[in-house]
Structure 1
Amino acid sequence: MTEHQALRIRRFSTDSAPVGERFDAWAAHSTYCDMVTTYRSDLPFDAHRDNVSIGPLILAGRTWRHPDPSLAYDAKRTPARIRADQRDFHSFSLQICGTAALRSDASTAVKRAGDLYLLDFARPFERVITPGSEISLSVPRDWLPADTGKLHGASLTRGVGSLFGDYLMSLYNTLPQLTRHDVPHIVRATTELLKASLHPELDTLAAAQTPIRDLLLQRIRRYIDDHLLQPDLTPGSICRDVGLSRAMLYRLFESAGGVMREIRQKRLYRVHQVLSSPDRPEERIRDVAWRHGFTDEKYFYRIFKAEFGHTPRETVEQVRHRRETGTN
């Protein structure tokens, strides 16, 4: 099993169950809560969830589709369920669309789109869930500050908490691209940012910045390498596929002279590698340059010489000379 193997995403969809049994299948698949209502609609119950283990963390997504937003079902975490499964973790839920009315400790709060809130799974609670979507992250209790449980039911959508909501969305959207190699970086970045969200003091903020920046840079650079020969490799495509804002992308590459300079340098070194290969097929230099995104031949020759100290043609001639004379 290699470190670059994709993470295993476990998926469940009610489509796999007979139409009349789909809500029951959904309820049976609910690991940590009991469904206490019956689904009443002429439309088949249409829902799916997925989850993936990232080291000690579990990232999950849930979607229930229905055109009637007034429909709802109840999901309860009861004392009996708590005793039975003994799950000792905190869950951070980001409401994407729809609502979840949370009842816990004699208080009620409606969580709406954009709300990020904390649930302590060692305590009873009930949620009345309407059609919509959410993303959740489960974190073992001992990975977080000891007083985290006091925020059970609270929303974390101000300050650093809002940054964690954005990060959680970005992490979920890029799950298919993640590998086992990413796991230690993700765990470190996620837990540091969570600590900063729960205790936004200067030291926790400072600790969170470096791992998150490193993780994003690593992911973006891998994306650039994978798409280097595609003509539509632009800041826009990177932001869309990696899942971050254009402003954040520019800040990340500010010290390197910009993201387009990063792309240009990678392409330039790839061209040099091709032209320096003694086994490359016969191909005009300008065609190699064009294939690597350099459509202006004069500009390409100028920056190539500035980078390597000789022209592309001189590079090819040096390779030919070594091949003819048998020298390295």
Structure 2
Amino acid sequence: MIETTDTTRARPNAPFGMRAPSVHAGAGPLPQFTYAAGTPDGDLPGADAFWTWRRIMAPLYDIAVHAPAYLADFQGAASWFHFDRMLLVTTDAAPHRLRRSPMTIARTAVDHCLIQRHSGAGWRGRLGTRDWSAGDGDVSVLDLTQPFDLEAEGATAGVVVPRRLLAPLLGTVDALHGVVAPGRSPQGRMLGDHLLSLSEQARQWPRRNAVVATTATVAVIAACLQPAPDHAVANLTERAPSLIAIKRHIEERLTEPDLAPETIARDCGVSRTNLYRLFEPMGGVAQYIRERRLLHCYAEIVSPAHAHRRIGDIAYDWGFPDETVFSRAFRRCFGLSPREARAARRDGGPAPLRGSRRGTADALELDTPDLWLRALGGR
């Protein structure tokens, strides 16, 4: 079952970078998108329920089940609410695996954080190279510009907030990826209760007060995550200014062919040992530089604005002088060649929902979360 109250529509599989329909404050309830399948309230059997769930959550994660046998019994429900400058997302689904890979990061091209309260078994897995978990009652922070590979079970109530809204109050947003505020801590309880209350009131919340709710939520997030709720968060915050400054330095110089750990350490005034330590959770500084360059290459290769340019020229501009080496690195990172990525976007992007015809109402509505998520970046 799919319900949406947002009457604005755009064609499905919109080109990379296309702005979603604007959602203006006004009378009436918040724009909302609700989906339930494989449940008593749903209207799809298990396998179809899973593929629909996968499509709806694709703006946030790539989703899989542990084995094909799990498809028959899959159940999932999700609700998205548009608060003008943030999104509220509630989910409750059977056990599944979710990944945010470099390809997903490049495809969605958003700079947001997901802050959510977990109910039930929770989430566990890997954030980059480190083990991670968030259990019943905990509140977690995931940076949607960073990769992760997790097992999920139970319900969540969370908000997607653009980094630029959090930065003025927190300052150290980069350091918050993977932070968990325990449900037993005062900060965890306060933030968790706020997210639950927000999800309970969202259906009745007046659209004209959406920005007020966003401002209050960002303030509560900042109050509960700074000062840090535990020693692990404190350690992250302590080293964050250096990491943020170094990442900014790297981003500004990604097109320079001589960008290397030695020059970064010299320009930023840190030792190579400390530089390697800071980037160890991301696979190392050289790996971080390569992935950032590849993400920019991916964005330009699939962008209609760069469709006239040779792939080799794009690669060269982003620090890959050898097109063969670049193609191998691109395939390792994204699972397809640069030419295949360009062809897929030219042919209309990701395949439509199985069982749906491109352009049908259901397929159109299933793109709503993706359009909303991208639109946050322009506000």
Choose which of 136, 144, 166 in structure 2 pairs with 1:144.
166
8 Å Cα contact 1:33/1:76 also seen in 2: yes
Post-superposition Cα deviations, 1:259-308, rounded to whole Å, max 9, x if no partner, equal xxxxxxxxxxxxxxxxxxxxxxxxxxxxxxxxxxxxxxxxxxxxxxxxxx
Q: CA deviation at 1:122?
A: 0.2
8 Å Cα contact 1:148/1:198 also seen in 2: no
8 Å Cα contact 1:82/1:123 also seen in 2: yes
CA distance in 1, matches of 2:162, 2:176: 15
Amino acid across the alignment from 1:57: M
Listed as ranges, the matches of 1:70-219 within 5 Å are 72-130=95-153, 132-145=154-167, 146-157=171-182, 158-200=185-227
Amino acid across the alignment from 1:154: V
CA distance in 2, matches of 1:17, 1:171: 28
Change (3 A) 1:197 1:22: same
Q: CA deviation at 1:2?
A: 8.2
8 Å Cα contact 1:90/1:120 also seen in 2: yes
Secondary structure in 1 aligned to 2:124?
A: strand
Q: CA deviation at 1:124?
A: 0.3
Instruction: Determine the structure 2 residue equivalent to 1:40.
Output: 69
Instruction: Determine the structure 2 residue equivalent to 1:298.
Output: none
Instruction: Determine the structure 2 residue equivalent to 1:53.
Output: 82
Secondary structure in 2 aligned to 1:99?
A: strand
Post-superposition Cα deviations, 1:24-79, rounded to whole Å, max 9, x if no partner, equal 222222222112434524853111101111021100100125xxxxxx32110000
Instruction: Determine the structure 2 residue equivalent to 1:215.
Output: none
Where does the alignment leave 5 or more consecutive residues of structure 2 unmatched? 1-23, 229-379
Instruction: Determine the structure 2 residue equivalent to 1:286.
Output: none
8 Å Cα contact 2:46/2:71 also seen in 1: no
Q: CA deviation at 1:181?
A: 2.5
Q: CA deviation at 1:188?
A: 1.7
Moved over 6 A (4+): none
8 Å Cα contact 1:35/1:74 also seen in 2: yes
Amino acid across the alignment from 1:54: F
Post-superposition Cα deviations, 1:205-245, rounded to whole Å, max 9, x if no partner, equal xxxxxxxxxxxxxxxxxxxxxxxxxxxxxxxxxxxxxxxxx
Secondary structure in 2 aligned to 1:181?
A: helix
CA RMSD of aligned residues (A): 2.2
Change (3 A) 1:19 1:105: closer
Q: CA deviation at 1:18?
A: 4.0
Amino acid across the alignment from 1:26: W
Amino acid across the alignment from 1:150: A
Choose which of 22, 26, 29 in structure 2 pairs with 1:6.
29
- The higher radius of gyration belongs to 1
Q: CA deviation at 1:100?
A: 0.9
Amino acid across the alignment from 2:159: L
Amino acid across the alignment from 1:55: D
Give TM-score scaled by structure 2 length.
0.48
Change (3 A) 1:2 1:75: closer
8 Å Cα contact 1:39/1:73 also seen in 2: no
Q: CA deviation at 1:169?
A: 0.5
CA distance in 1, matches of 2:116, 2:91: 10
Q: CA deviation at 1:147?
A: 1.1
Change (3 A) 1:36 1:47: closer
Q: CA deviation at 1:21?
A: 2.4
Listed as ranges, the matches of 1:261-276 within 5 Å are none
Secondary structure in 2 aligned to 1:7?
A: coil
Answer 1 or 2: higher relative contact order, Cα 8 Å, separation at least 6: 2
CA distance in 2, matches of 1:63, 1:162: 20
Secondary structure in 2 aligned to 1:103?
A: strand
Change (3 A) 1:4 1:85: same
Instruction: Determine the structure 2 residue equivalent to 1:27.
Output: 54
Secondary structure in 1 aligned to 2:161?
A: strand
CA distance in 1, matches of 2:107, 2:70: 32
Give TM-score scaled by structure 1 length.
0.55
Secondary structure in 2 aligned to 1:21?
A: helix
Q: CA deviation at 1:115?
A: 0.7
Q: CA deviation at 1:170?
A: 0.6
Paired residues in the alignment total: 194
Amino acid across the alignment from 2:197: S
8 Å Cα contact 2:83/2:214 also seen in 1: yes
CA distance in 2, matches of 1:191, 1:148: 12
